[in-house]
Amino acid sequence: MARSVADECDVLLRDGGIAHVRPLRPSDREALHGLVSGSSERSAYLRFFAGGTATAHAYMDRLTGPDYPGHALVALVGGRLVGVAEYIPGGREAEVGILLHDDVHGLGLGTLLLEQIAADAAAGGVEELVATVLPGNRRMFRVLDDLGLPVRRLTGEPDGGVNGGEVEVRIAARPTAHLLKEIEARAHEAERNSLARVLNPRSVAVIGASRDPARIGHRVLRNLVDGGFPGPIYPVNPHATEVCGLPAWPAPAALPGPVDLAVVAVPAAVVPDVARECAGHGVRGLVVLTAGFAERGDDAAERELLRVCRDAGMRLIGPNCLGIVSTGASLNASFLPGRPDPGPLGLMSQSGAVAAAVVQRAAELGIGLSSFVSVGNKADVSGNDLLEYWEDDPATAVIAMYLESFGNPRRFGRIARRVSARKPIIVVKSGRSASGDRAVRSHTAAAATPDLAVDALLRQSGVIREENVRDLLDTARLLAGQPLPAGRGVAVVGNSGGLQVLAADSCERHGLDVPELSAGTQAELRSLLRPGAAVRNPVDLTAEGDAAEFASAIRTVRADPAVHAVLVVYTPPFGSGLDATRRAIAAAARDGGTTVLACLTGHDGPVDAAVPGYAYPEQAVHALSRAAGYAAWRARPAPEPEEVAGVDQRRARAIVERDLAAHPEGRWLDPHLATTLVSSYGLRVAESVTVDGPESAAEAAALVGLPAVLKAWGPDLVHKSDVGGVRLGLRTPEEVRRAYREMDGRIGPAMRGGIVQRMAADGVEMIVGGVAHETFGPLVMAGLGGIAADLLADRAFRVPPIGRAEAESMLGELRCAPLLTGYRGRPPVDAGSLEDQIVRVGRLMDDLPEVAELDLNPVIVTPSGAVAVDVRVRLAPAPPVPSAFRRRLR
């Protein structure tokens, strides 16, 4: 039997349930017959056209036989086989077919199986999928039409009867951006529905509900009761008849009604068995508070727990977590102290200790929660899942996350970019230390630490990264209550000149402007304020300025066209006092759409429900700068997928596979092979000749043209200039011959040969490179190159794929950017060609995960183009990149 299409994986269905998809096995024969028996005569007829279930049974024998020519996969729900999909290739096209159990129609399973079939067929060279459909099979037409690939109907019409003619449907199998958009929309719907059942349950069981108030199970139960959860609450305790005034039950199987959510607080050794009992009772979500799993090295127990949950269609939060809160559902299924107030903040944390600190501090600052999820070990539900849920949650306006790791960084980036376009996401990501040193590294790998990759991913996705919990909450409370600033102009209004100067200085450091107010604004301020007030900006009301003057000044400056935000700096107890000034600020802030925030010196707390107050100007300015940066990101057009012409991916893939077959541990490619590889992606490289001695070097110089350049080559030669491994301006073959001998004598065995090139034209030396991090994926770097690459460290980073606009933005971030546009009389160079190099390196790194390190250094950029004059590439074995076109749970 031919190998089936995909590896085993779990997938979410439209209603939030879970299916297990895997390759067809010969042992599935009996289950396939069960599938046919569980399908109606009509379903069998619509799939096989004749013979009803008899034909279907006969086909299942063929499907599992040794001569079956196709590729097939099956779907299981609750351990029962409920669907089979196949494609039978025939040259550039393949016939497809799907049969689903009647019980699972309408759950999106047919579309999901067809997605995977199409992805696998395309990877195998199939260009078109062909389905023969009876006109009455409207459900199949909807599946084919909704897939997201171009569809053609060649015969028949879908509105005829079941006895009408057949309709041939042809589907272009090539993955497209539109298909990816459709797949992500379907995944989003499934994720949202899956977590809605966990965060808005109709009933809750607490398993391990102790009578001891100090025990976690008791504290969770007490929080549920005290929080006013409106549905049934079932304590499970085999040693009690009542806990917290509620009847107790000995086991999940004994519960008198259905349970949507079970919170588990029992010893780790029995958690898998408890999970099985919950599965048997039809529980939809499991929150495991118990520790003692992967965080203590017991990966096997955690995998067993996850498998139990997946087989039963249960979502798992934890293990080793604090629980969950959903204020809109009056659900406090956690052992946090106190009861979080309702509010706009959706909060996720991998660390229980950090979570407790954030929740407590948020309450002190008056920031309420829409929901809170402590994910613990993230065995199942992760930040990616929660982003999908919060995206559409009307109660959540701001998303805050404490992350220790990314399960799937690429998927996080795609989801976060989409969500950030609607709602701000603020992340504190721990683990900023650099990766361990390599014995031999490229310039890019030495510079591009994993933390820089995190920075690049978050920045591109519009995510606000904060260093600590304080900054996270400072930014969150501004974004939760105030409109986004339309620009970076800030008016500072206050009663203390010194603090206002500090605020203005801080604005400048954070990239905000404190513009001089217009003549009209200044004149109006003079008419409203007492003599002696400063009105240019900052606006100093003096220590005598009262609450009415604060309100008047705020309303006036916010109308100035150069002002996009107003920062009020008030030092109590001067003027009208703290309470009266608070009221005045709040009233003035309600009059328009300008961002207003306040520094109430020494008082860290809200001015009112909408206006945040900070103890120090620097806090306020930091939050405002984050809001302004986020607003600028949202204002930029979303990047559109771009085609990169002149890419021969198959040729590059063949080079990589051949070399790794010969060198399974990986290696630095020799210069010729490295150049061939990057040239497959349309990267322009200077003509080079590899040489192995002084005579061949002299001959090569005559071939490429004089004056020539000689460079030493060897896998250990990272910084060739440091060891005398580069000679420029060699004018005769004899000079080249002599230079090779001198270089060989100086460097010794590390020199394995040399490279001869014609001397490049004068230009700006830049570097473009890439590195593949083991757990994070690829990162692309661009910056000042040549011998100054490491000395000046002028670099910008992005996570691929990278479009031309993003490449242009990278170059704009560099301190050396003026060199590209013409500096001190020099002509501008062709920066567009350099941007093209960046885009192509990004595409290469995205397509070829085995490219562990890549350096183009230097890339000489002249008015006529950009050419790399030195190429280094290291290959290493790498697992395949998860396809964005194949939905799967981690």
> Given a cut of 50, is residue 860 above it in pLDDT?
yes
Give me the pLDDT at residue 232, please.
97
Instruction: State whether 275 and 404 are in the same domain.
Output: no
In this structure, are residues 179 and 147 in contact, taking their beta carbons and an 8 Å threshold? yes
The pLDDT confidence band at residue 409, using thresholds 50, 70 and 90, is confident
Least confident of 407-416, 441-450, 505-514, 582-591: 441-450
User: Average pLDDT for residues 370-389, to the nearest whole number?
Assistant: 96
What are the DSSP calls for 522-563, one per residue?
Answer: HHHHHHHSPTT-B-SSSEE--TT--HHHHHHHHHHHTTSTT-
> Given a cut of 90, is residue 732 above it in pLDDT?
yes
Q: How far apart are CA 809 and CA 158, in angstroms?
A: 50
In this structure, are residues 182 and 146 in contact, taking their beta carbons and an 8 Å threshold? yes
Give me the pLDDT at residue 438, please.
42
Instruction: State whether 303 and 196 are in the same domain.
Output: yes
DSSP lists the bridge partners of residue 249 as: 236
User: Average pLDDT for residues 386-408, to the nearest whole number?
Assistant: 94
CATH of the domain at 208: 3.40.50.720
Instruction: State whether 830 and 749 are in the same domain.
Output: no
Within a domain: residue 334?
no
Within a domain: residue 704?
yes
DSSP lists the bridge partners of residue 428 as: 402, 466
* Number of independent structural domains in the chain: 6
Find the domain containing 613 and state its range: 484-635
In this structure, are residues 300 and 266 in contact, taking their beta carbons and an 8 Å threshold? no
pLDDT in tens, 122-138: 888 899 999 888 888 88
Dihedral over Cα of 695, 696, 698, 702: its sign: positive
Within a domain: residue 220?
yes
Look at residues 548, 434, 422 and name the one whose alpha carbon lies nearest to residue 495.
548
CATH of the domain at 75: 3.40.630.30
Q: How far apart are CA 114 and CA 73, in angstroms?
A: 10
Instruction: State whether 498 and 618 are in the same domain.
Output: yes
Give me the pLDDT at residue 52, please.
64
Within a domain: residue 360?
yes
Q: How far apart are CA 890 and CA 881, in angstroms?
A: 13
Question: Which of the listed residues 609, 635, 661 is the one where a domain comes to its end?
Answer: 635
- Residue percentage of the chain with pLDDT more than 90: 76
> Given a cut of 80, is residue 511 above it in pLDDT?
yes
Instruction: State whether 394 and 521 are in the same domain.
Output: no
Cα 127 to Cα 123, 512, 514, 817: the distances in Å are 9, 53, 59, 44
Instruction: State whether 167 and 286 are in the same domain.
Output: no
The residue type of 342 is P
Dihedral over Cα of 132, 136, 140, 141: its sign: positive
Please give the helix or strand (H or E) that residue 729 lies within, else none: strand 726-730
Q: How far apart are CA 38 and CA 42, in angstroms?
A: 12
Give me the pLDDT at residue 377, please.
94
Instruction: State whether 587 and 666 are in the same domain.
Output: no
Instruction: State whether 771 and 847 are in the same domain.
Output: yes
Question: Which of the listed residues 325, 355, 385 is the one where a domain comes to its end?
Answer: 325
Cα 368 to Cα 133, 477, 590, 728: the distances in Å are 54, 10, 20, 66
Query: Per DSSP, which regions of 746-837 are E strands?
Result: 753-758, 764-773, 777-784, 795-798
Q: How far apart are CA 447 and CA 454, in angstroms?
A: 14
Q: For residue 238, which phi and psi values (nearest 5 degrees)?
A: -70, -10
Neighbours of 240 (CB within 10 A): 15
Give me the pLDDT at residue 89, please.
92
Give me the pLDDT at residue 788, please.
74
In this structure, are residues 585 and 553 in contact, taking their beta carbons and an 8 Å threshold? no
> Given a cut of 70, is residue 50 above it in pLDDT?
no
CATH of the domain at 541: 3.40.50.261
Question: Which of the listed residues 447, 481, 515 is the one where a domain comes to its end?
Answer: 481
pLDDT in tens, 101-110: 989 989 999 9
pLDDT in tens, 868-885: 999 999 999 998 887 888
pLDDT in tens, 55-73: 888 888 888 888 899 999 9
Instruction: State whether 245 and 118 are in the same domain.
Output: no
For the record, the structure tokens of 185 come out as 């929309």
Within a domain: residue 335?
no
For the record, the structure tokens of 80 come out as 């029962």
Look at residues 473, 327, 484 and name the one whose alpha carbon lies nearest to residue 401.
473
Within a domain: residue 1?
no
User: Average pLDDT for residues 203-218, to the nearest whole number?
Assistant: 96
In sequence order, the 6+-apart residues with CB closer than 8 A to the CB of 531 are none
> Given a cut of 80, is residue 45 above it in pLDDT?
no
In this structure, are residues 768 and 807 in contact, taking their beta carbons and an 8 Å threshold? no
Instruction: State whether 490 and 623 are in the same domain.
Output: yes
Instruction: State whether 149 and 201 are in the same domain.
Output: no
**Cα Rg of the chain, angstroms:** 32
Mean pLDDT in the chain? 91
Within a domain: residue 201?
yes
Task: Decide: residue 209, CB within 10 A, 0-12 exposed, 13-18 middle, 19+ buried.
Answer: buried
The pLDDT confidence band at residue 575, using thresholds 50, 70 and 90, is very high
Q: Give pTM, 2 decimals.
A: 0.90
The pLDDT confidence band at residue 160, using thresholds 50, 70 and 90, is very low
Give me the pLDDT at residue 477, please.
96
Q: For residue 57, which phi and psi values (nearest 5 degrees)?
A: -60, -45
Residue 275 CA to its chain's centroid (Å): 30
- Residue percentage of the chain with pLDDT more than 70: 97
> Given a cut of 90, is residue 522 above it in pLDDT?
yes
Cα 620 to Cα 116, 505, 568: the distances in Å are 49, 13, 10
Within a domain: residue 3?
no
The pLDDT confidence band at residue 328, using thresholds 50, 70 and 90, is very high
Q: At what angle do helices 177-199 and 383-392 cross, to 10 degrees?
A: 90
Instruction: State whether 681 and 622 are in the same domain.
Output: no
CATH of the domain at 805: 3.30.470.20
